[in-house]
Structure 1
Amino acid sequence: MRTAALGISLLLLLPTACSSDGDDDAQGVADDLAAGLTQKKLSDVAFTGADPTEEYAEVIGGLGDAPLEVKAAEPDLDGDTGSVALTWTWDVKGNEWSYRSTAALEKSGDDWQVAWDRAIVEPSLTDKEVLEVDTLLPSRGAILGPQEAPIVVERDVVKLGLDKSTLTKAEELASARAIAQVLDLDVKSFVARTKASGDKAFVEALVLRKSAAADLPPTYGEIKGAVAIGSQRPLAPTKEFAAPILGTVGEATAEAIEKSEGRLSAGDLTGLSGLQARYDEQLSGKAGVQIEAVAGKGSERELFTTKPVNGEPLVLTLDSGLQMRAEQVLAQTRPASAIVAIDPKNGDILAAASGPGSKGINTATFGQYAPGSTFKVVTALALLRAGLTPDTTVPCTSTLVVDGKTFKNYDDYPAGHIGDIPFREAFAQSCNTAFIAERDRLKKGDLAQAAAALGLGVDHDLGFPAYFGQVPDPTSETGKAADQIGQGTVLASPMAMATVAASVRAGRTVLPRLITGHKVTQIEPEVPLTAREADQLRELMRGVVTDGSGSFLAGLPGEVMAKTGTAEYGTGDPLPTHTWMIASTKDLALAVFVETGESGSATAGPLLTAFLQAR
C-alpha cells in the first residue's frame, strides 16, 4: 500500500514540476524583452516573427536618447498563450513619463516567444504611429544686481547661419565655406557641422547683438542660403560686462549633452562658461515636454504633457554703473589688467573688471600675481604685532644685500627719504630696504597670520572662481627678504588685495561676496585684527596719500587711504614689473592691477584716479 501511495504521489507531482519549468521559461523571455527594450536592442529576444529592432527604433526615435527603464512583471499564462505586464519609465528632459503596457506570449514547442506589436511600446499605439516629443521651453532665469537691477536678461540678437532647406548638397558646402570666411570662423569646423546637420536644418554660425549686426559685411547677404534671424538671448548690458565671470549662453555642445544625463539635447540653450555654466540648472529651469503619437502630419495625438518650470534668477552684488565704469577705465590698457571694488561694510563685490588685455581670462578675481609693495600693508601689521610702531626709526638704505642678493628701492625712489627714518615714512615712501631690514623681528608664520587677519591667503568657496592668495613660509633668507615686500613666493589676486584694503578700512576681516544666495562660513583668523592695529594701518595708508607715493590722490574728496606696489617678474634686463595700487574711501575699497607697467604710482595710479574721479 505504501508503494502504491508513493507512485500516486509522484504522478501528482510531475505536472506541477513541468508547469514550474514553463513559468521559468516564460519569465526568462519576459525579462529578456524588458532588458532589450531598455537597451533598445531586441536581437536577443525570442519573437514569433522577425527581429523588430528596426521597427522599435523607428517608433521611439522621436524621443532621442532619453534614458529608459522597462521592467517585466510575472507572466500570466494560460496553456500555450499568455501575457506579461511591462512597466515603462522614461526620463524625457528631466520629466518622468511612466505607464504600463502588455506583451502577448506564445509557446512554440517547448519555448516561449513574444508576439511583437507596436502597442507593446505604448498601449494606445496603432500600427502606423510613432512617438514624437515637443520641448516646451522655460524662460531662463535672469542674473540680477542689487535691488533686482537687471544684469543678464533677454536682449535682441541676430542669428547668422545657413538655411539648408533650399540648397543642393554642392551648394550647401560652397555656402558654408563662404559664410565661415565672411564671418571669420573656422571654415573646416563650420563645413563639418553643416554636413552633420539634417537636410533642412538651420546651421547656426554666429550670434550678434542687434546693434552689431548693422555692421555685417554686404557680401554676407549675397551668399546663397545665408540668413539672419531675429531672436533673443540672455545677455549683459555690453559684450565686455564682467564677461569672464558671467560666462556665456549658447547651444549645447556635444560634451555638455553627454554630461547632462538626458537633461540637454541638440539645439538646447545652456550655460557654456562662468556663472552661466556653474548655475545652469538653477537658471535654465526645467523644460516641459509634450509626447505625441504621430502617424503623419496633422495626426498628432497627445499622450503625455508636463509644463515647463521657469529658471530661478541669480542675484549678484555687482553694481552695473561701477562695473561699466571700471571697464571703461581699463578699455585702453593693453596688458592684462583688473579693477576690483568692494564695499568694506559688508564685503559685497561691486565691480570686478578684467581689461581687454586679459583676453577673456578672469584676472580680477582669479589672477595670481606677486602683489609687490601693496603687500607691505600685511608686513606692516606683522611688524606692529612684533613691537614696531609707526614712529620707530628704521634704516632705509639705497641697497641691502641678503645672502649675496642685492635688494634695492624702486628706480625713482626720492633721495631725500634715504637714511634712518620713521617707519611711517618708510611705509609712505615704500622703502623696500627698510622693510627687509626688519625681517628678523618676524618668526615663522607671522606674515601668514597677519595676512589672514586682513582676508588674504585663506581659501573660501564663494561660489565663483576666487583666488585668495598664498603666503607660504620662506625656505631661505633671501626668500624671507623678498616676501617682506610682496615678492618671493607671495601671491594674490586683485580681489584679494581689495579685500586687504577693505579689512583695514572696516577694522575687521572682510570676506568678499558676489552671489547673495551663496552661504559661506567664514574661517576666523587665528589672531583677529584689533581696533588699535586697524587705526595704525589706516594712519599708515593715509600717510601714503598725504606724504608719500600716492600724493596724486590728495585732491580727491574724502579721506582716501592707499598703497602703491610694483613687483618684478619674468626675465630680462631690466625685469618687467607688475604694477598695483590699493586704496579705500569710506564706502569703497579698491585694487587696480596692470600686468606690465612702469610703477604702481605711474601705471596703476592714473587708472585708480580716473575711477574715483568718475564717481
Structure 2
Amino acid sequence: MKRTTAVVVLSSLLITAGCSDSKSGDGGKADPNDEKQASAQLVKQFADAWVKAWAPDGKPTDAAALTDNPTAFGKRLDDVDTAIVASTVTVVPQGDVQCSNDTTCTQELAVEAQLRGIGAMKWTSTATAVKVGADWKVKAAGDTIYPGLGDGTNYLKRVRTLPARASILDRHGAALTSNRPVVIVGVASGNVATPATYAAFTKNLDVDGAKLSKRAKAAPAGQFVDAITIRADQWEALRPTMGKLPGVLTMGGTQSLAATPTFARSLLGSMKLANEDTLKNAGPTASAQDQVGVNGLQYAFQQQLAGTPGGIVSLRDGKTKLTVKEIFTQKGAAGKPVKTTIDTKMQQAAEAALGSQKLHASLVAVQASTGEILAAANGPDITSYNRAFQGRYAPGSTFKTVTSGALLGAGLTTNSSLPCTDTINVFGKTFKNYDALAAYGAGTMQKAFNQSCNTAFISQHGKLPKDGMTKAAAMFGIGRDLELSIPAYGGKVPAPKDDVEEAASMIGQGTVTASPLAVALIGATVAHGTAMKPVLVPGKDAAGTAASPLPANTAAALRTFMRTTVTGGTAHALAQSGTVGAKTGTAEVVTNGKVGTNGWMVGYRGDVAFAVIVEGGESGGKAAGPIVKNFLARFK
C-alpha cells in the first residue's frame, strides 16, 4: 500500500534520448510502425508515469496501463515502492533505443529513489518495449523496476539503522543526557481496551483517556496506538496496576534523557515520536518512526545529536527468503555531542532551592565575567516551558538598579537627596510604595535603593531625557535579541510616550518587561562592570560584550548600593550568605482582573550573578529571598 507521509518532494527529470520527431499532422503520436520512435515515446511516457506512481499519494495505475500485464505490474511497482520506502523518484531514459527486430526494443532507465530516512539510492534498469497487436507496451517484468527481480518472486528488503544519539554535555564535558531504556505505552486499536483502561491512562499517566479512546477506535485493525513514552523504571512501578488491563500494549526502546525527569528539563528539552513539524526540523534523513527533539536543546540541535542513519537494501530470494546480494549500502554517521555552559552542581543547587516552592518560580545563574549561563531552573512542577528564559514580566524594583545607573549618568550622586513620601502624583497618576515600606522623608539615593522607595525614584523623573531609561537599560544588555540557541527574551524598555509611563518605567512597571535571564544580566553587569552577551552553547551563541562598560563611578556606586541592601536593606535575608550584593523587587501584575504581585531578587556573589522570580510572591524579600539563600548555601 502506498504511504501518504512525505518528507521531501523532488521534481522529476524526464529526458527522451534517441527519440525522433513525430510526423507532421499526426497529433504528436509516434508512428507505431517506426519501432524506434514508438518505443522511445512509450518509454518516456512510462518513466513519467513511474515518477507519478512513487510520488506522495501516488498510484501505479497509469504506469501499469502502459505494460502488457497491468494487474501484475501495478502491484509489483507498488510493492517495491513500499519495500524500500521511497518518498520520490526520478526516472530518466538513457542512450539510444536498441531494437532486436521490428516488435522488440529496449532502452535503459537511470533511476534515483529517495529512500525516506536514509538518502538517495541509484540504479539502472532496462525497459523492454514489445508490440502487442497495433500498440506498443512495456514488458511487465520485475527487471524493468530493478535488475534481478525478474518475473518470479524475488523481492527487495530494506533495513535502516540509527546511530546512538549523542549526549548534551555540561561545561566540564560530563553528560547531561544519555540513552536510557524507555517503554512506549499504548493500546490495541479498535474496541479491545475498556473504559477502565482509558481511566487508568488518565489517572496514572496524565494521558487524556477520552482522546486516546477515539484514536484507538479510528485506527486500522491490528495497530499499536501509542499514548506516552516513559522511563523503564516508571513502567515497572506501574506494571502491577496497568499491565493487566484490557488492551494495554507496550514496546521497549531507548531515548536520550537526563538522569531524572526534572533535571534541566526546560533547557535540555524532551523527545517524542516525530510529527509533521518536528520531522521537518529533523532533516531529510529523519523518519516518522523516529524519536526526535521537540523543544529545548534536543530540538535546536536535533540533526547534530542524531547523526545520520545508515541503511541496506538487499535483493532476496522469494522462496528461501535469503539474501541474494546487497544492492545498496549507506554507512551511518554518529551524532556529535553539544557542549553547554551549564554547571551540573549549580543546576542541581538551583533546582533544589526551588524544590519546596508551591508557586511557580524560576532561578537563573550566569557567570558575570563571560555571560555564560550556569543554571536555569523552573519549578515546582515538571515543565518544558522555560519561563526562566522566555517569561515576560515586569521586573519591578530590581529595575531600580538600571534607574540608579540612569540617574548617576544624569549627574546625580549617591548622596543626592531623594525624598521618600507615601505617594507621589505624576500628571494625575498616583504612585505608592509597596505596603511594607513606611515613608521616611529625606534621604539619599543609596537609602532609597536600600529601602526600595518607589516615590523617591519617581520624584527624579524630570532629571532624565525621554529615552533615558531605554538607553540606560541598553547599558545592562536589556532590550536586545539575546541570540541564544533556544528561545530567550531579552526584555523591552520602550521610550515612554508621556511622563506617567516614564515614572512607571523607573520602578520596573508600565511597559517595561524582562525575563529572569535578562534580569540576571543586570546583576552580572554590576558585578563585572560590562554587560556580556549570554551564552549557553559556546561557538553557537553570540558571545562578547553587549554594551560599553559602565562608567567606573557608576559601577562602584551600584556595587555599594547592592551590598548595603544586603547588610542593611530589603535583602537582609542574605546577610549570612557571604559577600553578596542584591536588590529585591515586588512587581504588580494584573491577572484575570485582579491585582497581585510577583516577588523578585537580583544579585551576585563573586563571579556568579543570579535572578529569582516567584509568581504571586508577596515581596522580593519574603518570597525570593529564601530561595536565593538556599541556592547560595549549596555552593561556594
2-structure distance, mates of 1:175, 1:285: 42
Q: CA deviation at 1:112?
A: 3.5
Q: Is the 8 A contact 2:368 2:527 kept in 1?
A: yes
**Alignment match, 1:286:** 308
Structure-1 separation of matches of 2:603 and 2:319: 69
The structural deviation recorded for 1:228 is 5.4
| Counterpart residue type for residue 140 of structure 2 | W
Q: Does 1:114 align with 2:138?
A: yes
Which of 47, 70, 83 is residue 91 of structure 2 equivalent to?
A: 70
Which residue of 2 is the match for residue 11 of structure 1? Answer: none
- Secondary structure in 2 matching 1:31: helix
Distance 1:83 1:176 in 2: 61
Report if aligned partners of 1:333, 1:357 keep a CA contact under 8 Å in 2: no
Cα deviation, residue 132, structure 1 = 2.3
Residue in structure 1 matching 2:154, options 129, 132, 135: 129
Counterpart position of 2:626: 606
- Looking at structure 2, the residues matched to 209 and 358 of structure 1 have their Cα atoms a distance apart, in angstroms, of 15
In the other structure, the counterpart of 2:104 is 81
Which ranges of structure 1 fall in alignment gaps of 5 or more residues?
Answer: 1-16
Write the mapping of 1:115-514 to structure 2, written as runs, cut at 5 A: 115-126=139-150, 127-162=152-187, 171=192, 177=198, 180=201, 183-184=204-205, 185-194=207-216, 202-216=224-238, 218-224=240-246, 226=248, 231-253=253-275, 255-257=277-279, 263-294=285-316, 295=318, 298-301=321-324, 302-356=326-380, 359-415=383-439, 418-514=440-536
Q: Output the amino acid matched with 1:55.
A: R
Is 1:540 aligned with 2:558?
no
Residue 595 of structure 2 aligns to a residue whose secondary structure is coil
* Structure 2 gap segments, 5+ residues each: 1-29, 54-58
Residues 571, 38 of structure 1: CA spacing in aligned structure 2 closer, same or farther, 3 A cutoff? Answer: closer
Cα distance between partner residues in 1 of 2:195 and 2:619: 53
Contact 1:393 1:420 in 2 (8 A): yes
Amino acid at match of 1:396: C
Q: Is the 8 A contact 2:193 2:248 kept in 1?
A: no
Letter of the aligned partner of 1:451 in structure 2?
A
1:161 Cα offset (Å): 3.8
Partner of 1:26: 39
Residue type of the alignment partner of 2:161: L
Q: For each residue in 1:216-243, what CA deviation from the matched residue of structure 2 results, as whole angstroms up to 9, or x when unmatched?
A: 1633232256455554321112211121
TM-fit CA distance, 1:368 = 0.3
Q: Is the 8 A contact 2:159 2:313 kept in 1?
A: yes
Q: CA deviation at 1:175?
A: 9.0
Pick one of 30, 49, 60 that aligns with 2:81: 60
C-alpha distance in 2 between matches for 1:38 and 1:388: 76
- Answer yes or no: is the 8 Å Cα contact 1:175–1:226 preserved in 2: no
2:469 aligned partner, one-letter code: L
Cα offset, 1:427, TM superposition: 1.1
CA contact (8 A) 2:466 2:502 kept: no
Worse-superposed segment, 273-282 or 502-511: 273-282
Shift of 1:269: 1.6
Once the two structures are overlaid, the 10-residue window that deviates more, 211-220 or 61-70, is 211-220
Q: TM-score normalized by structure 2?
A: 0.86
Letter in 2 for 1:550: A
Task: Summarize deviations over 1:143-186 as a string: whole Å, max 9, x none.
Answer: 1101211101122334434478xxxx654678964764564532
Counterpart residue identity of residue 160, structure 2: T
Aligned partners of 1:131, 1:178: CA distance in 2, in Å?
44
Q: Is the 8 A contact 2:531 2:545 kept in 1?
A: no
More displaced stretch, 375-384 vs 359-368: 359-368
Distance change in 2, residues 1:588/1:260 (3 Å): closer
Partner of 1:292: helix, strand, or coil? strand
The amino acid that maps onto 2:567 is T
Among 25, 28, 43, the alignment partner of 2:61 is: 43
Moved more, 128-137 or 169-178: 169-178
One-letter amino acid of the counterpart of residue 160, structure 1: V
Number of aligned residue pairs: give it: 592
Larger CA deviation: 485-494 vs 442-451 = 442-451
| Residue 593 of structure 1 pairs with residue 617 of structure 2 | no
- Partner in structure 2 of residue 562 of structure 1: 582
State the 1:305 CA deviation. Answer: 1.8
Provide the rounded CA distance (Å) in 1 between the counterparts of 2:81 and 2:421: 82
Which secondary structure state, in structure 1, belongs to the residue aligned with residue 272 of structure 2? Answer: strand
Note the alpha carbon deviations across 1:179-211, whole angstroms, 9 max, x for none: 645645323443455457676655443333344
| SS of alignment partner, residue 589 of structure 1 | strand
Q: What letter corresponds to residue 136 of structure 1 in structure 2? A: T
Preserved CA contact (<8 Å) 1:106 1:114: yes
TM-score, normalising length: structure 1: 0.89
CA distance in 2, matches of 1:366, 1:465: 7
* Per-residue deviation, residues 43-77 of structure 1 (Å, max 9, x unmatched): 33422332532331123212235332222224414
**Distance (whole Å) between structure 1 residues aligned to residue 320 and residue 414 of structure 2:** 85
Q: SS of the counterpart of 1:419?
A: coil
Give the drift of 1:593: 0.3
Relative to structure 2, which stretch is displaced further, 418-427 or 228-237?
228-237
SS at 1:601's partner residue? helix
Measured against aligned partners, the alpha-carbon deviations of 1:488-528 in whole angstroms (never above 9, x if no partner) come to 10000000000110111011111111112314265753x54
Q: 1:275 to 1:124 in 2, by over 3 A?
A: same
Letter in 2 for 1:511: K
172-181 or 283-292, larger mean C-alpha shift: 172-181
Deviates more, 1:153-162 or 1:130-139: 153-162
**8 Å contact from structure 1 (residues 326, 351) kept in 2:** yes
Confirm or deny: 8 A CA contact 1:560 1:584 kept in the other structure.
yes
Call closer, same or farther: CA 1:460–1:28 in 2, change over 3 Å: farther
Against the structure 1 CA distance between its residues 206 and 357, is the aligned structure 2 distance closer, same or farther, given a 3 Å change threshold? Answer: closer
SS at match of 2:630: helix
User: Does the CA contact (< 8 Å) of 1:176 and 1:194 recur in 2?
Assistant: no
Residue 616 of structure 2 aligns to which amino acid in structure 1? Answer: T
Say if 1:347 and 1:512, in contact at 8 Å, map to a contact too: yes
> Is residue 570–residue 576 contact of structure 1 (8 Å, CA) maintained in 2?
yes
Q: Deviations over 1:447-488 (max 9, x none)?
A: 111111111111132111111000001112211110011001
The residue that corresponds to 1:581 in the other structure is 601
Spell out, residue by residue over 1:56-100, the C-alpha distance to the aligned partner (whole angstroms, 9 max, x if none).
112321223533222222441424421121111122223221111
Q: Structure 1 residues 296 and 282, CA, compared in 2 at 3 Å: closer, same or farther?
A: farther
Tell me if the contact between 1:335 and 1:595 (Cα under 8 Å) persists in the aligned partners: yes
Correspondence list, 1:7-26, <5 A: 23-26=36-39
Give the 3-state SS of the residue equivalent to 2:371 in structure 1: coil
Shift of 1:284: 0.9
In structure 2, the CA distance between the partners of 1:172 and 1:89, relative to structure 1 (3 Å rule), is farther
Matched, 1:91 2:114: yes
Paired residues of 2:184 and 2:230 also in contact (CA < 8 A)? yes
Counterpart Cα distance in 2 of 1:134 and 1:197: 26
Moved more, 185-194 or 369-378: 185-194
Name whichever of 510-519 and 44-53 sits farther off. Answer: 44-53
More helix by share: 1
Q: What's the % identity of the aligned pairs?
A: 35
Specify the code of the residue in structure 2 equivalent to 1:84: Q
